[in-house]
Chains A and B, each alone.
Chain A
Amino acid sequence: MSMSTSPSLTTAPAGADRAGTRTTAGRRAALAAGILVAAAVGALLLLPGVLAPYPPDTNDVAHTFAAPGAHHYFGTDQLGRDVFSRVVYGTRYSVLTGLVATAIGVLGGSVLGLAAAAGARLVDTVIMRLTDVWLAFPEVLLALLVIALIGTGPTQVAVAIGVAAVPYYARLVRGQALAVMRAEYVEAAKILGVPPWRYLIRHVLPNVGGPVVVLASLGTGSAVAAAAGLSLLGLGPLPPTPDWGVMLAEGQSYLANAWWIAVFPGVALVLVVLAATLIGRSLQARSVR
């Protein structure tokens, strides 16, 4: 057949999904913003000395209640300490507490969830009824209960919040693991004679991972907020620790004439929670796709 010069016709593209493209772009921007804040938080966490112009706990009675300005970006507090430097050093306490709490929740939840999914029916029933009771308590109340048992302090706050989060992760891991364990590739491992603990760790756990990462990302935000809340109540680190919750507590008495003492740690807290949520949401959107 010869090459033809007759009109070559192209079928009309059926209305490309523009709305879809826009949401994808929006999601990308959200993820980028979240990652940016997370990176900044990481820098503050690791290198506070480089970024803070003053030590966090040096009193300067000559310059108390200085308004935000060129010398003190976020102003000074009732003892003349630089609020910016305290917010920077505070990252270490507040964010780290949130991360440790989430790690405790994920670890405990994964162990319980996998045990429930892989174990005998009795084990499953016991673990699940236990999480039911656990979930019946509001998270903060449960954390308070744990603190009442193990005492106050920064480590105790992390443990308390982590323990309160365990049942959420346990439920998620159990559900996912039950689905993955029915997959043929897990059966294939079983057929090869791989012992259960090994295929649980090699095949089930990693394939359960996705949704857990999403929940952990969202959970880190709320854990940081919860930690600040407990510090505010005086159950966490004690003054003069530059913890954001402690700073909020100190600043609230001066809110009328020196707003900056409480507002800046509050803004830092909001940014961190927001970043964690943005990252979590876009990871979630990705895993659904």
Chain B
Amino acid sequence: MSLVEVAGLEVAFGHGPPVVHDISFTVEDGECLALVGESGSGKSVTARALLGLAGHTARVRADTLAIRGTDVRSHTERDWKRLRGRHVGMVLQDALTSLDPLRRIGDEVAEPLRLHRRGSRAEQQERVLQVLTEVGIPDPQVRCRQYPHQLSGGLRQRALIASALVAEPGLVIADEPTTALDVLVQDQILTLLGKVTAQGRGLLLISHDLAVVARLADRIAVMRHGRIVELGFRDQVIDDPQHDYTKYLLGIARRRREDRPPAAEGEPVVTVDRVSRSFGGHRAVADVSLSLRPGQTVGLVGESGSGKSTVARMVMGLTTPDDGRVLLHGRPWSETTERARRPHRRRVQLIAQDPHAAFDPRYTVGRVIAESLPDLRGQARHARVIDLLSTVGLDAGLVTRRPHQLSGGQRQRVAIARALAVQPEVLVCDEPVSALDVSVQAQVLDLLAELQRRLGVAMLFITHDLTVVAQISHQVLIMKDGEIVEEGPTRTVFDDPQHSYTRALLQAAPRLPEGR
């Protein structure tokens, strides 16, 4: 008997058409099945249907939907409650919003035990400490008395996994469990999830990233447009994919860094000269220097909190360094007044992680871009907007749309179009693709590289993702705790890392096994 058996699963919302069709798979004890697909492919909906969490407007239909042989199709909310936590545990993506900010970690983790009345209070307490130790939380005695905001992202994710494991469910569902985490933490969490299957539990792992799942999955199901397009053993899917879409995803995941020819040496546009900056006694950036030359991309890599965004803000002239200075074309940029900076602001443009927040919610796409073109009027301005949209590969029909009506990739393209409208010399890209699906990431990176070739802009590319930086940078700086620990041409840094931290980062980056 399989742990989970699903056949002909179909989920629709309201009166709409089904969003997932004809989903069939099984999960066995001690096995990891990965559902891989891009956002909107239906993987989360599928997982939620297994827990009766698809939502009250959802219509769930299936030929078979069984957990450990029990037909759950006619389960009422009460039946589901008996199942959740005890037989099926769930780990969500964002541990900060998934944990109640007002409850201590210990209480949160003990919740499933209390709901299912497992053991006395003392026994529950003991089990909580045991499971916190198991997931590798140091000082569980101390940690279980703390609140979520007192824990780092990695510890929070561990606590969430602990709460999924505490009642010893046979099946654990993990929905993008590492997407919000830095590579080193991701590496630890994946190791931890590996132990779940080693203990004989079933694991349903959901991710948009093939490289992440390849490490844990025994079998992989590739989803697209609400259907499973390919399902097979890991090695089979990765080495000998049958479906074109799987091949496409693998192609993106395997993208090698193209050794970008070093750009022509020119006079630096931006020079960052030994800047430091503290916030309330905490040293965010210490003694950082770099220079950006026309046509050249400098990658700045670091984990969250390493100070890389503060460097970006100093280059933008939005944050003033405490020490050191930033020069634009050899002239003072950080050491001048806002009034003096304003006429030159257009030269340095920003592409932010979340373009949605960077657009006035009342504006249409056309108006967003037109704002960057104050010198043009009427027909000329409209023509230029259309021209810019086509430069970034968007349809002219989008001008009347509002940002929230666009997909993440389209929004990022609009942000790029807006930045290009003022003909900048420097683009500061702060995690520009982190919120995007891998295939969209690839498209946006290609676009940025192509624009750089054509327009010769200098780019400062900030990311926590080594794969991304390898694809686009000529030069790489590795940042840790506010300091640059290693720098050099991309190829040198990746092939022959000198600093132990760089080596650890490269080691932890998820990688697909080489194809045949």
Contact = CB atoms under 8 A, between A and B. Distances in A.
Interface of A: 1, 4, 6-16, 183-185, 187-195, 202-203, 206-207
A190 B350 CA distance: 11
Contact of A207 (B56, B57, B358, B361): B361
A183 B350 CA distance: 15
B416 to A, nearest CB: 13
A207 to B, nearest CB: 7
Contacts of A190: 318, 345
A184 B354 contact: yes
B349 interface: yes
Contacts of B22: 1
B56 A13 contact: yes
Contacts of B350: 188, 191
A207 B360 contact: yes
Contacts of A191: 316, 318, 345, 348-350
Interface stretch (B58-66, B158-166, B199-207, B302-310): B58-66
Contacts of A189: 371
Contact of B77 (A1, A4, A12, A195): A12
Given A184-B354, A194-B371, A10 B360 contact: no
A206 B363 CA distance: 11
Contact of A13 (B8, B57, B62): B57
Contacts of A207: 360-362
Contacts of A184: 352, 354, 357-358
Nearest to A183: B357
A112 to B, nearest CB: 23
A13 to B, nearest CB: 4
Interface SS of A by simple majority:
loop
Contacts of B74: 9
Given A185-B358, A193-B345, A193-B346, 20 more contacts: A1-B24, A9-B74, A11-B58, A11-B75, A13-B56, A13-B57, A14-B77, A16-B56, A183-B357, A184-B358, A185-B357, A185-B359, A187-B318, A188-B350, A188-B359, A188-B418, A189-B371, A190-B318, A192-B422, A202-B371
18 contacts: A1-B24, A1-B63, A8-B61, A12-B77, A15-B56, A184-B352, A184-B354, A185-B357, A188-B352, A190-B345, A191-B350, A192-B371, A192-B418, A193-B344, A193-B345, A193-B346, A202-B371, A206-B362
Interface in B344-390: 344-346, 348-350, 352, 354, 357-362, 371-372, 374
B59 A10 contact: yes
A180 to B, nearest CB: 10
A11 B74 CA distance: 7
B483 to A, nearest CB: 26
Contact of A4 (B63, B318, B349, B361): B63
B357 A9 contact: no
Given A1-B24, A13-B56, A183-B357, A195 B342 contact: yes
A193 B59 CA distance: 51
Nearest to A180: B360
Contacts of A9: 60-62, 73-74
B337 interface: no
Given A185-B359, A189-B371, A12 B76 contact: yes
A193 B8 contact: no
Contacts of B409: none
Contacts of A206: 362
Contacts of B359: 185, 188
Contacts of A14: 56, 77
A1 B7 contact: yes
A10 B22 CA distance: 15
B346 A188 contact: no
B16 interface: no
Nearest to A16: B56
A203 B344 CA distance: 21
B1 to A, nearest CB: 19
B364 to A, nearest CB: 13
A185 B61 contact: no
Count chain B CB atoms within 10 A of each CB in A8, A11, A13, A192 and give the residue with the most.
A11
Contacts of A16: 56
A3 B63 CA distance: 9
A8 B65 CA distance: 11
B77 A10 contact: no
Interface string B26-64: 000000000000000000000000001010111111110
A13 B349 CA distance: 49
B261 interface: no
Contacts of B349: 191-192
Interface in B59-112: 59-63, 73-77
B343 interface: yes
Nearest to A12: B76
A191 B352 CA distance: 12
Nearest to A9: B73
A9 B374 CA distance: 59
Nearest to A10: B59
A11 B371 contact: no
Contacts of B8: 1, 4
A190 B313 CA distance: 13
Nearest 5 pairs of A and B residues by beta carbon: A193-B345, A14-B56, A9-B73, A184-B357, A184-B358
A206 B362 CA distance: 9
Nearest to B316: A191
Contacts of B24: 1
Contacts of B371: 189, 192, 194, 202
B61 A188 contact: no
Given A1-B22, A11-B58, A13-B56, A192 B372 contact: yes
A193 B357 contact: no
B467 to A, nearest CB: 26
Contacts of A193: 342-346, 422
A6 B54 CA distance: 21
Nearest to B354: A184
Given A184-B354, A193-B343, A203 B73 contact: no
Interface in B308-355: 316, 318, 342-346, 348-350, 352, 354
